[in-house]
Amino acid sequence: MWRHIAANAMTFLVVALFLVGGVIIWGKAQYDTPGPLTEAVCVQVKSGSNMRRVSKDLADQGAVTSAAILRIGADYEDKTGELKAGSFLIEPNATMKDIVDVITRGGASTCGTEIVYRIGVTRVSVQVRELDPATNRFDELATYTLGEDEVPAEYEETRDKADVRFRIAVAEGVTSWQVVSAISNMDIMDGPAPAVPAEGALAPDSYEVRKGDDRGALLARMQAAQETLLAAAWEARADDLPINSPEELLILASIVEKETGVADERRQVASVFVNRINQGMRLQTDPTVIYGITRGEGVLGRGLRRSELRGETPYNTYVIPGLPPTPIANPGRASLMAAAQPDETPYIFFVADGTGGHAFAVTLDEHNRNVAAWRKIEAEQGAAAAGNASTGGGTD
């Protein structure tokens, strides 16, 4: 009888093991199989949440077929305790394994509502926007100019929500004073207004921040990023570059940044200044003269006067030889690399061509013709603007 009982028990154990093995194989297949989503969704992981709550939310949104399998899979991969707070975009047909990787990897949030502070050369704009997961496009909820416009209610309501994200986008060509002035006026930042860093020391980029972050700490991040970019550009510089130090490279890059907003022109513009340095010519660039007047504290807002072009200042490159003593703005990665690796051209002149770009020239005669063409375009644009103003700004 005992042999019979033992045989039945053994048979039961084998069947049980077989069934358990089958369940494990089935569960793993479910964990690795493309999920049921037909459109992307945004899952919000609140601070202090856990895998049970998040898996239920995913199941409720139709992102997974089984919250339990997702939890078991996350536990098997030792990722249950690595859940990160944030708002994360879950792509269509994402597997449970993919989803667990997204919500435990961390880093910047990829969806939800965000407030973007854009520090530009002429103004600081604030935009409240929300990502539509279905289209992967942002819908604007509100926008205003910091320090000028009335703060919209949508901004204040969104700013105080627990799951909103904040980002500060610094444009290429802004000055260090403009950056410090802007972040000093942002109500989400904390700490005293920091001292203005050296010109050119801040990396234009997009920085994710949290409400209450310290202003000084943010500037330190920007400075560290620029040091890295400058070191990489200096390491990659052309062998025959007439620039003697990373500091001089930074100065040249800042001039390139202020002279053109056309990406494809940066290396050509850099080549003009390199050619002028090699030939012992003055750089003769208006942005340096303007910086000598404003010292980077705001925009000049008018054309340069003849007396300003003749006046001898450390930044008037119509008068002084070589580079000015400091950068005149914060250049981005592209301008740093353009200054380090300029195109090989014969150009020593350039002037605006009316399209947003520039006309380049080798000889003074050719340059003068380009200048005359630009003056004609300026006159035509001025006449058209005056005509629009007198008629109310356009036609029906």
Please identify every stretch of the chain with a pLDDT value under 70, giving residue numbers as ranges. 1-28, 106-110, 382, 384-396
User: Hey, which residues does 87 pair with through a beta bridge?
Assistant: 44
Looking at residue 54, its pLDDT comes to: 82
> What domains does the chain contain, in order, with CATH numbers?
30-105 (3.30.1490.480), 113-230 (no CATH), 238-381 (no CATH)
Q: CA-CA distance, 239 to 267, in Å (whole number)?
A: 16
| β-strand partners of 164 | none
Burial of 274 (0-12, 13-18, 19+ CB in 10 A): buried
Residue 131 and residue 139: Cα distance in Å, rounded?
Answer: 6
pTM score: 0.77
For 144-183, what is each residue's pLDDT tens digit?
999 899 999 999 998 988 778 899 999 999 999 999 999 9
Q: Which of 156, 157, 161, 201 is nearest to 177 (CA)?
A: 201
Q: What pLDDT does 179 receive?
A: 97
Q: SS3 letters for 26-91? A: HHHHHHHCCCCCCCCEEEEECCCCCHHHHHHHHHHCCCCCCHHHHHHHHHHCCCHHHCCCEEEEEC
Go through the chain and tell me how many residues it has.
396
% of the chain beyond a pLDDT of 90: 47
Summarize pLDDT for 58-102 with one digit per residue, the tens: 888 888 888 888 888 888 788 888 887 777 878 888 898 888 888
Per-residue pLDDT at 348: 92
Cα dihedral sign for 11, 15, 21, 24?
negative
pLDDT score of 393:
40
Place of tokens 């969806």: 111
Quick one: pLDDT at residue 385? 58
d(CA 196, CA 216): 10
How many angstroms separate the CA atoms of 103 and 111, rounded?
12
What does the pLDDT read at residue 35? 80
Q: Which residues does residue 119 pair with via DSSP β-bridges, in sequence order?
A: 124, 170
Q: What φ, ψ does residue 223 adopt, rounded to 5°? A: -70, -45
